[in-house]
Amino acid sequence: MTDNKSVPNVNEEEIAKFEQIASQWWDLTGDFKPLHQVNPLRVQFICQHIAEQKQELFSKNVIDVGCGGGILTESLAKLGATVTGIDMGAEPLNVAKLHALESSLTINYEKITAEEKAQQCNEIFDMVTCMEMLEHVPDPASVIKACAQLVKPGGLVFFSTLNKTVKSYLLAIVAAEKILKLVPDGTHDHDKFIKPSQLIAWAEESQLKCIDASGIHYNPVTENHKLAANLDVNYILCCQKV
Ligand code: SAH
């Protein structure tokens, strides 16, 4: 596991990829179209779990780890949460700040790693989200541990990423990057994909109990996403700090 204090858990090449295309972040037809399309479904998944906890997002203190240009971050702010978005890409954060301004939303954006933020802010957030980010870091277990440190006991932490299966190679890399060109070629590295059993094991090592896991299925014809039982490709987890 990455040492929290010395080597930052950042892959500069990965950050550079996002820096390069950051200006497209809010273009609904550009490279981030898949994130815009999936966003309502992940917001629905989050809201459903918050409601099951007999809570609401309004005035809750939330942090979005690896927030990029702020697609999910803004949705959470619109639901009334007090939101912090952190990322290690300067350009995505500049885009996020500008867009929040245009949307008249107050969001605290910071260029900091999850690990450093966790050292500053131990158990101060009611909820943590970390979407489509773990597959871009050298040590995902270290980010999961930091998310667990950031959240208050009893709070929810949401992760989404890609499963490491033959099917995810065929759909997320061959189909999405090479054939359909839904995302730029080279966006994902199959070696960095994470099996749900592995993610859950890392979460549990960090006092996060997985309370729900759902697949996110994409239909390229209708361009719709839906939650489904099969976790073979994209999936989302809801964990609770014990
Ligand atoms: N979570 C957002 C963006 C996903 S794209 C969403 O789902 O809408 C992945 C993001 O992770 C990029 O913005 C990238 O800059 C960021 N990222 C990659 N490595 C990171 C790290 N080590 N620390 C913080 N952010 C990182």
Cα(first)–Cα(last) distance of the chain, in Å?
A: 22
Rounded distance between C-alpha atoms, residue 224 and residue 23, angstroms: 25
- Ligand 1 site, residue 22, Cβ cutoff 6 A: no
Ligand 1 atom 24 nearest Cα: 87
How close is the Cα of 50 to the center of ligand 1, in Å? 23
pLDDT at 7: 80
pLDDT at 220: 86
Ligand 1 atom having least distance to the Cα of 92: 13
Q: What is the greatest pairwise CA distance in the chain?
A: 47
- Ligand 1 site, residue 70, Cβ cutoff 6 A: no
- Ligand 1 site, residue 227, Cβ cutoff 6 A: no
How close is the Cα of 242 to the center of ligand 1, in Å? 26
How close is the Cα of 138 to the center of ligand 1, in Å? 12
pLDDT at 6: 64
Query: What dihedral angle (degrees, nearest 10) is formed by the CA atoms of 102, 96, 157, 40?
Result: 60
Ligand 1 atom 2 nearest Cα: 67
pLDDT in tens, the chain (242 residues): 544 446 899 999 999 999 999 999 999 999 999 999 999 999 999 999 999 999 999 989 999 999 999 999 999 999 999 999 999 999 999 999 999 999 999 999 999 999 999 999 999 999 999 999 999 999 999 999 999 999 999 999 999 999 999 999 999 999 999 999 999 999 999 999 999 999 999 999 999 999 999 999 999 889 999 999 999 999 999 999 99
- Ligand 1 site, residue 66, Cβ cutoff 6 A: yes
Ligand 1 atom 17 nearest Cα: 66
The pTM of the full predicted model, rounded to 2 decimals, is 0.96
- Ligand 1 site, residue 236, Cβ cutoff 6 A: no
Contact 69, 96 (CB under 8 A): yes
Ligand 1 atom having least distance to the Cα of 138: 22
- Ligand 1 site, residue 137, Cβ cutoff 6 A: yes
- Ligand 1 site, residue 113, Cβ cutoff 6 A: yes
Contacts of residue 84, defined as CB under 8 A and 6 or more positions apart, other chains included, come to: 61, 62, 63, 64, 107, 108, 109, 110, 125
Q: How far is CA 48 from CA 15, 75, 212, 229, in A?
A: 32, 15, 11, 16
Where are the strands (E) in 71-150, listed by range?
A: 82-87, 108-111, 125-131
